[in-house]
Amino acid sequence: MPELPEVETVARDLRPLLVGSTIESLLVGERRLRNAWLADWTPLVVGRTIRELRRRGKWLPMVLDDGSVVAFHLGMTGQMTTHAVADPLADHVHFRLRLGSGERELRFRDIRRFGSIAWHATYAIWEEGLEERLGPEPWDLTTEAFLERLGKTLRPIKAVLLDQSVVAGVGNIYADESLFLAGMHPTTPGRDVTQSGAERLRGAIVDVLTRSIAARGSTIRNYVGGSGLAGGHQVSLAVYGRTGEECAKCGTAVECIRLAGRSTHFCPKCQAMPTGVSRGSR
C-alpha cells in the first residue's frame, strides 16, 4: 500500500503537470471504487481550474478554483499518472480528467479498487470529515503529544504507528523501518515507551520518511509515482521484506511475526525487548 513517501512523490510529480490546468471533461468507470461514484460529476468539476494539489497523510486533495476539492486516496494499488490522450489505455483505469486543450489527461488506475475519489464543496468540509481519524503529520508531531498518546494504550508500538489518528501517513513498511532505526521491539506496549524512547522513535520516523521521499518511495509491487517512474528506496530497507537475511548492523537473522494484522519485520538483537517490559497484546 502506498504510504506517505509514495503519496508525496505522486504529489510532487503531478503538481507542475496539473496546477493551472482547466478540466475540459471527465470519464468515470462503470465499476465503483471504495466509495460509490457521484451521480453526475460534470457540473462540479468541468470548466474548473486546478489551483493546488496537496498531500495530507496518504490523501491527495486537489483544490479547484472555486474552493471545492476532489480528494484522491490510492488505497492498495492506486496509481495517478498523466498521459497523452492518444496513449493506449491500460486495464483498470477508473477515472480520467481531460485537461487544457484536450491533449493530456490524468488517469487513476486501481487494480484492486480499494482507492477512492470523492468531491467536497470546500477544503474545510473535507478536512473536517477526517479530523477524528487523521493525526498530525510526522514533522509536526511533538514528543510530548506522542508520549501522551502512547501512555494511554497497552497496544504494541507497531500497532500504534499504524493508527492514522496518532500520526498520519505511516504504514507497514515505514513503521518497521522506524522501529529498527529507533532500536525498539515492535511488541513494546505503548505505555512502556519512555520519554527518551518516544523522542528517539519520533526522530526515526522523520528520518526514515525523509530519506524515502528523497528516493521517490519504495516500489514493492506495483507502485509508481505521478511520472510513471518506480521508487528506489526499497533497496535501502533495513528489515522490511528481509525475513531470514542478515541484519546489516549486527548480522543476526531478521525475523517476521504477525502483529496488528500485518507482517512485522525486526532484528531480535538490535531491537531486543528491555528486561522487565511485557509484550503488548497482539
CATH number at residue 15: 3.20.190.10
Q: Residue 272 domain-assigned? A: no
Residue 262 designated active-site: yes
Q: Residue 281 domain-assigned? A: no
* Total number of domains constituting the chain: 2
Q: Are residues 150 and 125 in the same domain?
A: no
Contact in structure between 193 and 172 (CB atoms under 8 Å): no
Q: Residue 282 domain-assigned? A: no
Q: Are residues 122 and 185 in the same domain?
A: no
pLDDT tens, position by position, 46-86: 999 999 999 999 999 999 999 999 999 999 999 999 999 99
Residue 152 designated active-site: no
- Which helix (H) or strand (E) element contains residue 204? helix 195-214
Q: Are residues 184 and 231 in the same domain?
A: yes
Q: Domain containing 119: what range?
A: 4-130
Kindly name the residue from 48, 55, 56, 262 that is annotated as catalytic. Answer: 262
Using CA atoms in the order 242, 222, 137, 236, what is the torsion angle rounded to 10 degrees? 30
Q: List b or e across 133-156, with b for residues whose CB sees 16 or more CB atoms inside 10 angstroms.
A: ebbbbbeebebebbbebbeebebb
Q: Are residues 158 and 101 in the same domain?
A: no
Spell out the residues 6+ positions from residue 125 whose beta carbon is closer than 8 angstroms to its own. 69
Kindly name the residue from 55, 56, 58, 155 that is annotated as catalytic. Answer: 58
Boundary residue ending a domain (88, 107, 130): 130
Whether the predicted model's global pTM rises above the 0.85 cut? yes
Q: Determine the Cα–Cα distance for residues 272 and 258; give it in Å rounded to an integer.
A: 17
pLDDT tens, position by position, 131-189: 889 999 999 999 999 999 999 999 999 999 999 999 999 999 999 999 999 999 999 99
Q: Are residues 174 and 239 in the same domain?
A: yes
Residue 136 designated active-site: no
Kindly name the residue from 3, 8, 105, 177 that is annotated as catalytic. Answer: 3
Q: Are residues 126 and 175 in the same domain?
A: no
Kindly name the residue from 2, 5, 156, 186 that is annotated as catalytic. Answer: 2
pLDDT tens, position by position, 196-224: 999 999 999 999 999 999 999 999 988 99
Percent of the chain with pLDDT over 70: 97
Q: Are residues 145 and 109 in the same domain?
A: no
Contact in structure between 138 and 4 (CB atoms under 8 Å): yes
Q: Are residues 161 and 123 in the same domain?
A: no
Residue 51 designated active-site: no
